[in-house]
Amino acid sequence: MNAPVRVVVADDQNISRGFFEMFVRAANGYTLSAGLRTAREAVAYADAQDFDLLIMDVMMADGIDGLTAAEQIKRKHPKIKIILTTSAVETTWEDKAKAAGIDSFWYKEYENESLIDLMDRTMAGESVYPDDPPQVSFGRVTRADLTERELDILRGLTESLSNDEIAQRLHISPNTVKRHIQNIMEKTGFDSRLELAMNAKFLGLVVSEKQRTNSVRYL
């Protein structure tokens, strides 16, 4: 009889971590090795203990984010399988996770595939990523109705950047930024840049690199 797969869960939100822990305990063929509150703890645990699978949230609130920690763990301990999870819908994280060799990626609230299926496939050697981005409503449209440039603009708005600062970051003119913001408002029905930023942040529609790597928790 095969030994159960040893699983570590790392999530700074008590409810989410508790769900994962309960799920692992109830799953056939898996056993919970540890439930951790920070990505930093996950890095230290991987250096000190043997286990098979890490399920970790991307956005963590104690100095290091889950994506950065997963990359560190994978580099030092390539045999550990890693599933990154998130409540946000920042799809650029998928590409970064793939580039870092992270095995699988799961959107907590938007994924059709069950977590147990994802765990089974990951432990069987598959790299499982969503086929399509999550379809999240944003005003009168969905995320898929926004262009990549418009999403870049929204990332700047969620950081409270001015038009000049966004323009400098994206190497475009302030007038172009202003025009993009107006187009986004017309698409979505939101009335101001503040309303755009607040709703994008609340939904986790976009998350800037600064917000992720500074471990800003707003979801």
Q: Nearest to residue 78, comparing CAs of 51, 101, 45?
A: 101
Residues contacting 90, CB < 8 A, separation 6+ = 204, 205, 206, 207, 212
- Comparing 172 with 61, the larger pLDDT belongs to 172
What tokens does 38 get?
A: 């920070």
Say if residue 219's pLDDT is above 50.
no
Confidence (pTM): 0.84
Apex 127 CA angle, 122 and 132, nearest 5: 115
- Name the one residue in this structure whose structure tokens are 């003119």: 173
pLDDT of residue 63: 76
When pLDDT is cut at 50, 70 and 90, the band that residue 105 belongs to is very high
pLDDT of residue 116: 92
What tokens does 53 get?
A: 């699978």
Say if residue 39's pLDDT is above 70.
yes
Say if residue 1's pLDDT is above 60.
no
Residue 66: phi and psi, rounded to 5, are -65, -35
pLDDT of residue 215: 55
- Name the one residue in this structure whose structure tokens are 């963590």: 60
Question: In this predicted model, what pLDDT tens digit does every residue of 107-156 receive, in sequence order?
Answer: 987 767 789 999 999 999 999 998 887 788 999 999 889 999 999 999 99
pLDDT of residue 204: 83
Computed on alpha carbons and rounded to an integer, the radius of gyration of the chain in Å comes to 19
Apex 10 CA angle, 21 and 104, nearest 5: 95
Q: Which domains, and CATH codes, for the chain? A: 5-123 (3.40.50.2300), 137-213 (1.10.10.10)
The alpha helices in 132-191, defined as continuous H runs, are 148-158, 163-170, 174-188
